Amino acid sequence: MKRQLTVAIVGTGFLARTRARCWRKVHGTDVTLVVAARDCDDPAAFAREHGAHRATSIDAALADPGVDLVDLCVPNHVHAPLCLRAAAASKHVLCTKPLTAFWGQGLPSGASAAEVAATDRATMLRAAVADAQAMVDACAAAGVQLFYGENWIFAPAVQRAAALGAAAPGVVLEMRGWESHSGSHASYARDWRHAGGGALLRLGAHPIGTMLWLKRREGQRRRGTPVRVVAVTGEVADLSRAAAGAACEVASGWGDVENWGTCVLHFDDGTRGVAYGSDNLLGGMQSHLSIHASDHRLECALSPMDALRAYAVREGAFGQEYLMEKLAGQAGWTTPMPDEDWSSGHQGLAQSVADHLAAGTRSDVDGELGLEVVRVIYSAYVSAAEGRRVLVSG
């Protein structure tokens, strides 16, 4: 008999739409989809348009004993409070990246957006890590799973690369990964008070989380303990500001967060990772991970991928058809994505969560991994602010 799973998607924005598509396609488990959102989000309309079975308020979903899992598709500053409430209500939690962030915790109530953004980075690091730890602890105490929603890890390219790497005797010496596009669509992403950081956090979290996961597994395999990050070197900037007054097709008008960020990860086995995120790239979303091992090399092209290439003379040649995330037009050569939910790993993520819950097994893409990502990224913010390499202590 198929396992039954009732998932409450919280929020009705970009990620909620992606997750609704993916949960509907999960196999082996009958998923009942509930959308839980504030009245201003009109959850009933979302349920009708995106195939959810019913709509409700967030409070009602948390109080509903029939809900097994809450899928948090809300801005970063809401992740921790809702996760704590969900754990207290004995719900499993799927929390997207980043697990949490610094959005003013510990500042006097009424602190201005400028005061939040001006907080020194070491204080941010301590607060964000404490928040993430509280999420991990609350879920552990409640006996529920905290799944970390890092979709990259479930991208077919990354899953296959992980399997090939596990079969090869060599050591991963260097990884390079980036997610870049022409700028976030979300208004909350522009200020520290809601996003808790800029491109390094919002986009860089993907390659960083994936590198940490791969090195964790490699360490377990080779020496019985995970390989961990011991130091980071970070750099952040607002690049679009340099285009003031010039032709500029990338997002501009940023608030107090960076739109370009990079960091070097120093692993405890002496190897390195280089990750970056940028909101300054035209031509569609680029999500790529290069793995340079001592006896092989792997290139994971999540986006674009060239399974399908198209050429069109005219703009609008394919009518209203969607081609790929953040691509502005249809003219010239393009790479229409055959199935972006699949290639980005969102579909595999939903499937993995359902499978673990059905089997009663624990995922290693968990709150602990999300916590490490938070620690690494905020340590990189400290590094960028202080102009030095920063040790990462767990």
Ligand X SMILES: NC(=O)c1ccc[n+]([C@@H]2O[C@H](COP(=O)([O-])OP(=O)(O)OC[C@H]3O[C@@H](n4cnc5c(N)ncnc54)[C@H](O)[C@@H]3O)[C@@H](O)[C@H]2O)c1
Instruction: Give the contact letters, 65-94, x = binds to ligand X (CB under 6 A), - = no.
Output: --------xxxx-x----------------
Q: Does 14 bind ligand X (CB under 6 A)?
A: yes
Tell me which residue of 221, 204, 219, 131 sits closest to 376, measured CA to CA. Answer: 204
Q: What is the DSSP string of 145-165?
A: -EEEE-GGGGSHHHHHHHHHH
Using the minimum distance from each CB to ligand X, give the nearer residue, 73 or 251. 73
Spell out a b/e string for 22-31, using b for 16 or more CB atoms within 10 Å of the CB, else e: bbeebeebeb
Q: Which stretch binds ligand X (CB under 6 A): 14-22, 153-161, 207-215, 316-324?
A: 14-22
Report, in Å, the least distance between residue 14 CB and ligand X. 4
Q: Does 348 bind ligand X (CB under 6 A)?
A: no
C-beta nearest to ligand X: residue: 13
> Quick one: which of 41, 71, 191, 372 contacts ligand X (CB under 6 A)?
41
- Give helix 121-142 / helix 76-88 axis angle, nearest 10°: 20
Query: Sign of the C-alpha dihedral, residues 133, 137, 139, 145?
Result: positive
Beta-carbon contacts of 163 under 8 Å, excluding residues fewer than 6 positions away, are none
Q: Does 326 bind ligand X (CB under 6 A)?
A: no
**For residues 247-266, which are near ligand X according to CB under 6 A?**
none
Q: Does 343 bind ligand X (CB under 6 A)?
A: no
The rounded distance, in Å, linking the Cα atoms of 196 and 275 is: 18
Using the minimum distance from each CB to ligand X, give the nearer residue, 39 or 295. 39
Label residue 70 left, alpha or beta by phi (over 0 means left) and psi (-120 to 50 means alpha).
beta
The rounded distance, in Å, linking the Cα atoms of 5 and 170 is: 40
Q: Does 100 bind ligand X (CB under 6 A)?
A: no
Q: Which stretch binds ligand X (CB under 6 A): 36-44, 164-172, 252-260, 329-337?
A: 36-44
Using the minimum distance from each CB to ligand X, give the nearer residue, 38 or 221. 38
| Residues linked to residue 177 through DSSP beta bridges, in sequence order | 275, 289
Report, in Å, the least distance between residue 167 CB and ligand X. 28
Using the minimum distance from each CB to ligand X, give the nearer residue, 74 or 327. 74
Q: Does 11 bind ligand X (CB under 6 A)?
A: yes
**For residues 137-196, which are near ligand X according to CB under 6 A?**
149, 151, 186, 188
Using the minimum distance from each CB to ligand X, give the nearer residue, 8 or 227. 8
Q: Which stretch binds ligand X (CB under 6 A): 13-21, 162-170, 214-222, 313-321?
A: 13-21
Using the minimum distance from each CB to ligand X, give the nearer residue, 11 or 207. 11
Beta-carbon contacts of 141 under 8 Å, excluding residues fewer than 6 positions away, are 87
**For residues 200-239, which are near ligand X according to CB under 6 A?**
202
Q: Does 12 bind ligand X (CB under 6 A)?
A: yes
Alpha helices in the chain (DSSP H): 14-25, 43-50, 58-63, 76-88, 113-118, 121-142, 156-167, 192-195, 199-202, 205-223, 340-343, 346-359, 367-386
Report, in Å, the least distance between residue 358 CB and ligand X. 23
The rounded distance, in Å, linking the Cα atoms of 9 and 306 is: 32
> Quick one: which of 24, 25, 38, 48 contacts ligand X (CB under 6 A)?
38
Using the minimum distance from each CB to ligand X, give the nearer residue, 17 or 217. 17
- Give helix 205-223 / helix 156-167 axis angle, nearest 10°: 20
Tokens of 51: 């195939």
The rounded distance, in Å, linking the Cα atoms of 212 and 268 is: 12
Report, in Å, the least distance between residue 37 CB and ligand X. 6
Q: Does 37 bind ligand X (CB under 6 A)?
A: yes
Tokens of 308: 């399908």
Tokens of 314: 């005219």
Using the minimum distance from each CB to ligand X, give the nearer residue, 98 or 165. 98
User: Which residues would be at the binding site for ligand X (CB under 6 A)?
Assistant: 11-16, 37-38, 41, 73-76, 78, 96-97, 149, 151, 186, 188, 202
